């Protein structure tokens, strides 16, 4: 028996240049830079987290910037095609203007009676801003951000996962994670968790693009929330019972994680909602310095010397 159906916790992708990455997510989209650390499994690579004013679970998109030497990825089956943030319904005109004045091309479409602004980040990662009528977003505004608080991104709306065949991934979503098929229109299968709320939607689409290749410009994994380590252990068992091969629990300092590769090729993570980003920085200081887990502090000097040049995000308002 699995615990309550989770919503999204974070989405992690691979970027190229760290400066362009941070300038876009903070300077243009107005997310807060809530943490600069390194990839715990590859300390020569940064790990950036962007989220709401507190870096709340359900609002964080995170990146490994592979800088100049990074291999370019290729979109295909087994990957997250699009990551969508919710925006208030009365903010659509603001975002159209803001994207235009920042020179960001966008497509404007209606989907399930909601306005969707589709954009690509500097590395080609597809994003959407969805003017959501029914989502009870609970993001904490970032008072010092470049976007007025009433128009800020409100946390994840959904992710769109691309697979070569719906069936096996649908089974994991419905039988293990507890999502329910809500609608199937134009090849888009939309699943919603019974608990609802932010980030509670997952869309599946089929692609005949062949298997994707991980690299710059692709999403590495998506994480769902586990409210506690006990709940996380129940998810781990549920994945194993479904024939998947979940990892042991890994300490990511700001949360505990387990990972499992889904049958459609997508890497899923279950991440605990605590302890969160104030574990090693005060709320007002989030993202202001390179933080490292205790076990890497002795190597700080070498680690800092290896990381690519990065001056912190530029937070010019981009407005007239
Ligand atoms: Zn993760």
Say yes or no to pLDDT of 287 above 90: yes
Backbone angles phi, psi at 230, to 5 degrees: -65, -45
Q: Where are the alpha helices (DSSP H) in 88-195?
A: 92-101, 166-171
Convert the pLDDT of each residue in 201-257 to its tens digit: 999 999 999 999 999 999 999 999 999 999 999 999 999 999 999 999 999 999 999
- Show the tokens assigned to 279: 């574990």
| Gyration radius of the chain over CA positions | 19
What's the rounded Cα separation, in Å, for the pair 32 and 17? 18
**pTM of the model as a whole:** 0.96
Average pLDDT in the 149-172 region? 96
Tell how far the Cα of 151 is from the centroid of ligand 1, in angstroms: 27
Strands 188-193 and 201-206, sheet pairing: antiparallel
Percentage of residues in the chain having pLDDT higher than 70: 97
- Minimal CA–CA distance to 107: which of 88, 129, 85, 91? 129
pLDDT value of residue 68: 74
Tell how far the Cα of 270 is from the centroid of ligand 1, in angstroms: 8
Tell how far the Cα of 13 is from the centroid of ligand 1, in angstroms: 9
Tell how far the Cα of 256 is from the centroid of ligand 1, in angstroms: 10
What's the rounded Cα separation, in Å, for the pair 317 and 320? 8
Say yes or no to pLDDT of 129 above 80: yes
pLDDT value of residue 32: 98
Say yes or no to pLDDT of 196 above 70: yes
- Show the tokens assigned to 110: 């209606």
Tell how far the Cα of 146 is from the centroid of ligand 1, in angstroms: 27
- Residue 103 — pLDDT band, cuts 50, 70, 90? very high
Paired with 37 in beta bridges are 47
Strands of the 60-65 sheet, one edge to the other: 32-39, 42-51, 60-65, 8-15, 219-226, 267-275, 255-261, 250-251
Backbone angles phi, psi at 22, to 5 degrees: -70, -40
Average pLDDT in the 132-149 region? 84
Q: Contact, 26 vs 18, CB < 8 A?
A: no
Task: Compute the residue count for the chain.
Answer: 320
Does the N-terminal peptide bond of residue 302 adopt cis geometry, omega within 30 degrees of 0?
no
Tell how far the Cα of 97 is from the centroid of ligand 1, in angstroms: 32
Tell how far the Cα of 261 is from the centroid of ligand 1, in angstroms: 13
Tokens 């659509």, residue? Answer: 92
pLDDT value of residue 320: 41
pLDDT value of residue 318: 43
pLDDT value of residue 162: 98
Average pLDDT in the 110-117 region? 94
- Residue 134 — pLDDT band, cuts 50, 70, 90? low
Tell how far the Cα of 273 is from the centroid of ligand 1, in angstroms: 12
- For Cα atoms 83, 158, 200, give the angle at the middle one, nearest 5 degrees: 150
Say yes or no to pLDDT of 192 above 80: yes
Tell how far the Cα of 255 is from the centroid of ligand 1, in angstroms: 9
Say yes or no to pLDDT of 319 above 80: no
How many other C-beta atoms are found inside a 10 Å radius of the C-beta of residue 61?
23
Q: Contact, 49 vs 62, CB < 8 A?
A: yes
Say yes or no to pLDDT of 179 above 70: yes
Mean pLDDT, all residues of the chain:
94
Tell how far the Cα of 38 is from the centroid of ligand 1, in angstroms: 13
pLDDT value of residue 90: 92
Tell how far the Cα of 28 is from the centroid of ligand 1, in angstroms: 23
**Residue 26, helix vs strand vs coil:** helix
What's the rounded Cα separation, in Å, for the pair 17 and 15? 6
Tell how far the Cα of 236 is from the centroid of ligand 1, in angstroms: 15
Tokens 């990551």, residue? Answer: 83
Say yes or no to pLDDT of 147 above 90: yes
Backbone angles phi, psi at 204, to 5 degrees: -115, 135
**Residue 33, helix vs strand vs coil:** strand
Does the N-terminal peptide bond of residue 79 adopt cis geometry, omega within 30 degrees of 0?
no
Tell me the CB-side half-sphere exposure of residue 254, using CA atoms within 13 A: 27
- Show the tokens assigned to 64: 């490994």
Convert the pLDDT of each residue in 1-15 to its tens digit: 577 888 999 999 999
Say yes or no to pLDDT of 135 above 60: no
Say yes or no to pLDDT of 136 above 60: no
- The CATH label, of 3.10.180.10, 2.60.120.10, 3.40.50.12500, 3.40.50.80, for the domain at 8-306 is 3.10.180.10
Which range has the worst mean pLDDT, 68-72, 147-151, 291-295? Answer: 68-72
């Amino acid at each position: 028996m699995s615990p309550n159906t989770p919503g999204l916790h974070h989405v992690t992708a691979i970027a190229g240049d760290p400066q362009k990455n941070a300038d876009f997510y903070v300077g243009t989209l107005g997310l807060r830079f809530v943490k600069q650390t390194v990839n715990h499994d590859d300390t020569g690579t940064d790990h950036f987290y962007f989220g709401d004013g507190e870096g709340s679970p359900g609002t964080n998109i995170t990146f490994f910037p592979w800088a100049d030497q990074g291999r370019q990825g290729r979109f295909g089956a087994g990957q997250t095609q699009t990551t969508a943030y919710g925006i208030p319904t009365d903010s659509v005109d603001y975002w159209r203007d803001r994207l235009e004045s920042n020179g960001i091309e966008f497509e404007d479409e209606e989907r399930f009676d909601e306005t969707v602004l589709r954009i690509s980040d500097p590395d080609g990662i597809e994003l959407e801003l969805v003017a959501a009528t029914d989502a009870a977003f609970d993001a904490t505004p970032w008072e010092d951000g470049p976007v007025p608080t009433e128009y800020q991104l409100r946390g994840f709306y959904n992710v769109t996962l691309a697979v070569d065949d719906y069936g096996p991934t649908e089974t994991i979503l419905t039988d293990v994670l507890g999502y329910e098929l809500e609608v199937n229109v134009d090849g888009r299968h939309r699943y919603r968790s019974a608990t609802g709320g932010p980030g509670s939607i997952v869309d599946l689409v089929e692609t005949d693009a062949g298997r994707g290749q991980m690299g710059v410009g692709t999403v590495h994994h998506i994480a769902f929330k586990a409210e506690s380590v006990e709940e996380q252990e129940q998810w781990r068992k549920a994945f194993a019972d479904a024939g998947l091969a979940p990892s042991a629990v890994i300490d990511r300092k700001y949360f505990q994680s387990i990972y499992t590769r889904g049958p459609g090729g997508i890497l899923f993570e279950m991440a605990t909602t605590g302890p969160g980003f104030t574990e090693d920085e005060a709320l007002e200081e989030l993202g202001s310095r390179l933080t490292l887990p205790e076990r890497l502090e002795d190597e700080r000097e070498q680690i800092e010397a290896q990381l690519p040049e990065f001056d912190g995000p530029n937070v010019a308002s981009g407005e007239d």
